[in-house]
Amino acid sequence: MKRITLSLIMSLGVLTALPCLADTLLIERVQAESGVNLPKRGSSMAQVEAQFGAPQEKFAAVGGGSSSTPPITRWQYQQFTVYFENTHVVNAVLNKASALEIGPAPVTR
């Protein structure tokens, strides 16, 4: 009985420590992002290209079938990716620092 109790306590200890690791990674990621100059929300495609130059890759627009699904375009730069709704920035995010970084799965073509 003592063995089972001890095993359960140790298992719970390991499982409760795991979320702390994820929080640390998120905090480090937010700190890294705050030090990088990213395109501002609402900027036009022309403004982004004038400020940051031509992107490494421009992906074709996705969506746009109706007013409730406007076209979303993605431009990839070396350090960050910019997402546009129609022709204006809706978000800009840092790219993964390495293949080992935990994050969303890459887009498949």
Return the pLDDT at 77.
94
pLDDT of residue 85 exceeding 80, the answer is yes
Looking from the CA of 33 toward its CB, the CA atoms found within 13 Å total: 15
Q: What is the pLDDT of residues 14-49, one digit of tens each?
A: 555 555 555 555 566 666 666 778 999 999 999 999
Return the pLDDT at 10.
66
Return the pLDDT at 58.
96
Confidence category of residue 5, pLDDT binned at 50, 70, 90? low
CA distance 4 to 26: 35
Query: Among 50, 38, 29, which residue's Cα sits nearest to residue 82?
Result: 38
pLDDT of residue 56 exceeding 90, the answer is yes
Count other Cβ atoms within 10 Å, centred on residue 45: 18
- How far from 95 is each of 6, 7, 36, 88, 92, CA to CA, in Å? 43, 40, 11, 20, 10
Count other Cβ atoms within 10 Å, centred on residue 18: 8
Return the pLDDT at 3.
72
Return the pLDDT at 18.
53
